[in-house]
Structure 1
Amino acid sequence: MSFSQVFHRTIFPTHFITCRVQCLQSPKSDLFHLPFSRTLRTQKSWKDLHQYLCQENVILKIKLKAVKKEAELQHKNWITYENRSNRLLLLEQPWEPSLKKQKIMTHETATLIAGEKILVGLDSFKEIVGRGSTIIDKILFISEFIECKAIVSLIVRPRRFGKTINLTMLREFFSIPIHPDNENYRYELFKDTKIMERSDVYNKHFCKYPVIFLSLKGYESCSTWSSMRARLCQHLATLYEDHHYVYNQVSHKMLNKSCFDSISSGKFKDGVTENALFYLSKYLKNYHKNKCIILIDEYDHPLNVAYQYQYYEEACSFFASLFEALLKDNDENLKKALLVGVSRITKSGYLSGLNNLTVFPMYNKEFANYFGFTEDEIFILLQHNNKEGQLDGVRQWYNGYRAGNGLHLYNPWSINSFINKGTLEAHWINTGGTKMIKDLFWNSTEDFKNNTSILLRDCTINVGIMEDIDYNMLNQKSNIDQVLWTLLYYAGYLTKDKNDNLCIPNMEVSTEWQEWLTNCNSFELDSILKAGEGRFDLKIEPTEKANFKIGVYMEFKVLKHDKHEKHQNKEKLQNKANEALEQIKNKRYFFDLPKFIEQCVICEVTCQGKNVYIVGEVLNSW
């Protein structure tokens, strides 16, 4: 095939060539310089030339579109002073794209955008790529998401499994740039990645949709429903402020300005709050003439907090109304929606009213390789950071999550932390989100504790997990074990083997289980150390929610030790201990014990030299 055929048949249609030539005389003409002579000299084959010209074509189209957009903005007097909220704001100049600093590395099925360092804790795709940091290329998740038949999708994965990074990646790819953001800047984020091989997806969907991105993180301190509602109102106000450009552009019949102002201020009534996201989707659809993509991060976090602080019913009712208004029967304004979280709370939670929801847990094959690191991705990461010699240790510490299609996955947080610190240790277990599980752990039954001991011996257990979690079951002893196994599985403390039995994934997670066992929090220890005042030296009382309501009360006495006496009087030691125990019973030191305690164990510990005598009694009434 000749150069002329490559050039004319596959790349530049006549109408685009004409536009390009017309722009050569403009002040922006330097944007459209295509070095054909250099291309012919450096490309080794017609295939390479074709690929090069395809890339140049994409760049030229984007730059031409940017020039046209700038002209339109100038025509509308957008580059001017705008009076908003009684203050003058000078609109910023368009963001200038910088060349991608990373190089592309591949190994088998893995592609690495290789930078100088890994930023642990940063979960913004734009920031990671923009700063030249290292990131695994999961970008084909974009095409799988947009081509998925589900309209509203829920993906549940353990914490720190790359959910937020993937969600922000979707936002950067799909959302229509709002000045000073622009397509040229966005293109640099995705240049040389796998999505550029999918020209059909790129040309049809890149920067084509209004996107509503709502993060429900940061509610840990909301101990009351009023504080949670106030925090949510702040998030909604920020969303409205981000899309304030529709305020004067949408018809008055469509947009209620007083309602818009109320939401933007962060102070509005329940009825308005519950419909705030629905209204915003309608405004954006009307302005952009295209349906919205909805992205919601940590959808289950507010419900977990509400349960812990005992205002679950209020929060569940409110969020159910909020999401139903946005995601149910909103076909006119909704293109697709994706929610991500840790727990699968759909039938009993605030997604129970959505009949168009499709759930994708880890054991499904859909999206299996886009959350967590695969074996190939681990190898290329370690190779890039000169740590491939520690692959066996990494497997032992961090491998073991079994996903759909038989994939074995690693927790990204653990791997990135290991690469940064260089130590094989538990990095993930102190990243939060375990309070509720710890509380439930010690309210479990004897069967649960027996199965736990089996797991800690690196064995598997044949226990089924529930398809959906109902928080109302957490207070029912008959279901507590099954609910707890389900929570532990979705939270990443358990995985399934090839026979669908449950097991602990790896050494890192095993250390968390061991810590739970050695730091029992269902008993309160109180050391009094006021002997002779009618009080115990040590009491161990269960909390009211504990499964076994047994209290232990101990008193310690030390008899004088005579160094010159060769043989201690053991009978004297026993008599003193028995006398002290009778004194405890007769004087009823334990009369003010909590009412929920069912049994009381009293102990007297008497010491003399190296000899210790312990006497005790179990009381069922007092």
Structure 2
Amino acid sequence: MKKGIGIGIEDFRKIIKEDCYYFDKTNYIEELLKDRTEIKLFTRPRRFGKTLNMSTLKYFFDVKNAEENRKLFKDLYIEKSEYFKEQGQYPVIFITLKDLKKNAWEEMFFGVKELLRNLYNEFNFIRDTLSESDLKEFDKIWLKEEFANYDNSLLNLTKYLYNYYQKEVVLLIDEYDSPLITANQRGYYKEAINFFRNFLSLVLKTNSNLKMGVLTGIVQVAKEGIFSGLNNVRTYNILGDKFETFFGLTEEEVENALKYFELEYEIEEVKKWYDGYKFGSSEVYNPWSILNYLADRKLQAYWVNTSDNALIYDSLKNSTIDIFNDLERLFEGKEIKKEISPFFTFEELSKYDGIWQLMVYNGYLKISEKLEDDQYMLRIPNYEIQTFFKKGFIDKFLVSGNLFNPMMSALLEGNIEEFEKRLQEIFLVNTSFHDLKGKKVYHALFLGMLIWLRDKYEVKSNGERGHGRYDAMLIPLNKIKPAYVFEFKVSKTIKGLSAKAEEALEQIKEKKYDVGLKELGISKIYRIGIAFKGKNVKVKYEIV
């Protein structure tokens, strides 16, 4: 009987007890112990196994239920390691901050207090051994009293546990940056950073009660923002070569899983869809997508709809023309050169390169090549992420798919009157298009075409042909289909729309932008001039 597939199970004990297929990452327990850095921060995209790996560390190190937990590691790598003697030797504090997503600071702080109350309740058996003053502080947290010392709560708990067990404590903090990302989005970042800076720094800085601290997150918030004054934190991010396959799956791991579930014949298609991430010098696959594929046996996008992409969409709405041009290159399958810093500040989101850092650390772009200093070549990693851009970019940024898709269908059917009607409808009901001024309108429309039509057409922009540079061109991959040549104009007045659209159409003819298309075997060409003014649009066309 084959093992099950534990989709969504982030608890190591449950994975093993329910006989689910497990990608053995326990060799990294050995590496963590060899690495003498006291505090380690791992930054990776969502759904790359961070919580499961932290859970694995908890069951390995925890002195509670040590003998029972020992059985969980039977036949895994670490069982044969000399470091297996460290199993069950330390009290463990494990908390995850990923669910602290609240609309206001008061709500988030209430969530923090509830989180800490539950954590203290887990260790309430030590209350009988506490001094009178420590018991008073313990119970303030346990009872969620308003004036409890929440800043010191983790630091104090490490002290209580060390005194109880006479053993150093392993501290595991999952998704440490999640509340800060939420706070920045919802306008209370100052309150959040002030609390979490103290909350984390107090427990992590020169704490003699700690054996090791391990944190995970998506980004490394700059030290002056969160780890102020700490010099004992080492970050292992997607740019470095150490621990690069601790999170995510190697090609060998994916191939073994495909063979186990008798799907090895699909390896090339699976690679096309889910490979392409690069951590350090290693190519890795997205584990969430692989597990879902193993369960469903369907090649489709699994990962891209699992997380909150509001930061990316907000940044795209404030995009410059330069960002549109870079997105165009990415959608064409090309690379762009950007500076990617190992540190992240939310202030960078308002700068030119902020959006690219966000996309790299969130897994929407991959590093294809490292250049000098912090310069990297970036590209879209795989077909799954292209699907995100097709669905998410159009639906969330350009216009809802149930408006954009019929417009493009009308175009491909040669019903240009219906295409104009649908395009006008989009401009009337969609504020994103209305907010785009001048050439941004053209770029938004073109980018939508670029990613919606990528399977049927070669989509080009600003190319040289004839006696000038056309705005956009659709060259069919199947030459039985028609080609489309577009020229875009912006009218100063609504009355001048029709004349501007006619001017755009005449420019296509005069400059001979469609020269050479017939020689490619294309029998029908649509010349299309489009003029914009605010929420108004006019289309003129002819067929040759």
Q: TM-score range by the shorter chain?
A: 0.7 to 0.9
State whether residues 164 and 297 of structure 1, in contact with CA within 8 Å, keep that contact through their aligned partners in structure 2. yes
Give 1:275's match in structure 2, choosing from 127, 152, 160.
152
Unaligned stretches of 5+ residues in structure 2? 371-375, 404-426, 442-493, 499-531
Partner of 1:188: 71
User: Deviations along 1:494-549, whole A, 9 cap, x unmatched?
Assistant: 11114541111111011112234422537899x9xxxxxxxxx93554599x6759
Report the alpha carbon displacement of residue 472 of structure 1 after superposing the two structures with TM.
Answer: 2.5
Give TM-score scaled by structure 1 length. Answer: 0.65
1:154 match: secondary structure? strand
Alignment of 1:242-257 (within 5 A): 242-252=122-132, 255-257=133-135
Tell me the amino acid that sits aligned with residue 75 of structure 2.
Answer: D
State whether residues 45 and 218 of structure 2, in contact with CA within 8 Å, keep that contact through their aligned partners in structure 1. yes
Q: Does 1:382 align with 2:258?
A: yes
Partner of 1:345: 221
1:463 match: secondary structure? strand
Q: Does 1:366 align with 2:242?
A: yes
Aligned counterparts of 1:485 and 1:578: Cα–Cα separation in 2: 40
Alignment of 1:451-470 (within 5 A): 451-470=326-345
Tell me the amino acid that sits aligned with residue 253 of structure 2.
Answer: E
CA shift in 2, pair 1:578/1:187, >3 Å: closer
State whether residues 13 and 59 of structure 2, in contact with CA within 8 Å, keep that contact through their aligned partners in structure 1. yes
CA shift in 2, pair 1:496/1:176, >3 Å: same
User: Deviations along 1:468-498, whole A, 9 cap, x unmatched?
Assistant: 1111233x4xx2x311111110100111114
Aligned counterparts of 2:156 and 2:248: Cα–Cα separation in 1: 35
Give 1:133's match in structure 2, choosing from 16, 20, 24.
20
Give 1:235's match in structure 2, choosing from 115, 139, 147.
115
State whether residues 90 and 170 of structure 2, in contact with CA within 8 Å, keep that contact through their aligned partners in structure 1. yes
State whether residues 67 and 88 of structure 2, in contact with CA within 8 Å, keep that contact through their aligned partners in structure 1. no
State whether residues 540 and 551 of structure 1, in contact with CA within 8 Å, keep that contact through their aligned partners in structure 2. no
Q: Does 1:511 align with 2:375?
A: no
Aligned counterparts of 2:537 and 2:181: Cα–Cα separation in 1: 43
1:296 match: secondary structure? strand
CA shift in 2, pair 1:117/1:375, >3 Å: same
Aligned counterparts of 1:543 and 1:245: Cα–Cα separation in 2: 60
State whether residues 522 and 542 of structure 1, in contact with CA within 8 Å, keep that contact through their aligned partners in structure 2. yes
Tell me the amino acid that sits aligned with residue 156 of structure 2.
Answer: Y
Report the alpha carbon displacement of residue 604 of structure 1 after superposing the two structures with TM.
Answer: 8.0
Tell me the amino acid that sits aligned with residue 132 of structure 1.
Answer: D
Aligned counterparts of 2:356 and 2:71: Cα–Cα separation in 1: 44
1:321 match: secondary structure? helix
CA shift in 2, pair 1:287/1:393, >3 Å: same
State whether residues 443 and 547 of structure 1, in contact with CA within 8 Å, keep that contact through their aligned partners in structure 2. no
Alignment of 1:91-490 (within 5 A): 116-177=3-64, 182-199=65-82, 201-203=83-85, 205-220=86-101, 222-252=102-132, 255-269=133-147, 272-330=149-207, 332-404=208-280, 406-474=281-349, 476=350, 479=351, 481-490=352-361
State whether residues 176 and 209 of structure 1, in contact with CA within 8 Å, keep that contact through their aligned partners in structure 2. yes
1:513 match: secondary structure? helix
Tell me the amino acid that sits aligned with residue 235 of structure 2.
Answer: V
1:272 match: secondary structure? coil
Aligned counterparts of 1:540 and 1:466: Cα–Cα separation in 2: 35
Tell me the amino acid that sits aligned with residue 265 of structure 1.
Answer: L
CA shift in 2, pair 1:613/1:368, >3 Å: closer
1:394 match: secondary structure? helix
CA shift in 2, pair 1:548/1:436, >3 Å: farther
Unaligned stretches of 5+ residues in structure 1? 1-101, 103-114, 528-536, 553-576, 582-598, 606-611, 615-622
Partner of 1:593: none
State whether residues 274 and 285 of structure 2, in contact with CA within 8 Å, keep that contact through their aligned partners in structure 1. yes
Aligned counterparts of 1:439 and 1:579: Cα–Cα separation in 2: 33
2:155 match: secondary structure? helix
Report the alpha carbon displacement of residue 154 of structure 1 after superposing the two structures with TM.
Answer: 0.6
Tell me the amino acid that sits aligned with residue 155 of structure 1.
Answer: F
Tell me the amino acid that sits aligned with residue 149 of structure 1.
Answer: R
Aligned counterparts of 2:335 and 2:275: Cα–Cα separation in 1: 16
State whether residues 321 and 440 of structure 2, in contact with CA within 8 Å, keep that contact through their aligned partners in structure 1. no
Tell me the amino acid that sits aligned with residue 438 of structure 1.
Answer: Y
CA shift in 2, pair 1:578/1:508, >3 Å: closer
Partner of 1:82: none
Tell me the amino acid that sits aligned with residue 534 of structure 2.
Answer: V
User: Deviations along 1:52-87, whole A, 9 cap, x unmatched?
Assistant: xxxxxxxxxxxxxxxxxxxxxxxxxxxxxxxxxxxx
Across the two proteins, how many residue pairs are aligned to each other?
428
1:501 match: secondary structure? strand
CA shift in 2, pair 1:338/1:548, >3 Å: farther
Tell me the amino acid that sits aligned with residue 417 of structure 1.
Answer: N
Partner of 2:445: none
Report the alpha carbon displacement of residue 580 of structure 1 after superposing the two structures with TM.
Answer: 13
Aligned counterparts of 1:433 and 1:292: Cα–Cα separation in 2: 33
State whether residues 46 and 218 of structure 2, in contact with CA within 8 Å, keep that contact through their aligned partners in structure 1. yes
Report the alpha carbon displacement of residue 134 of structure 1 after superposing the two structures with TM.
Answer: 0.7
Q: Does 1:495 align with 2:495?
A: no
CA shift in 2, pair 1:446/1:244, >3 Å: same
Aligned counterparts of 1:443 and 1:301: Cα–Cα separation in 2: 23
Report the alpha carbon displacement of residue 578 of structure 1 after superposing the two structures with TM.
Answer: 5.4
CA shift in 2, pair 1:286/1:452, >3 Å: same
State whether residues 237 and 342 of structure 2, in contact with CA within 8 Å, keep that contact through their aligned partners in structure 1. no
Partner of 1:601: 534
Partner of 1:69: none
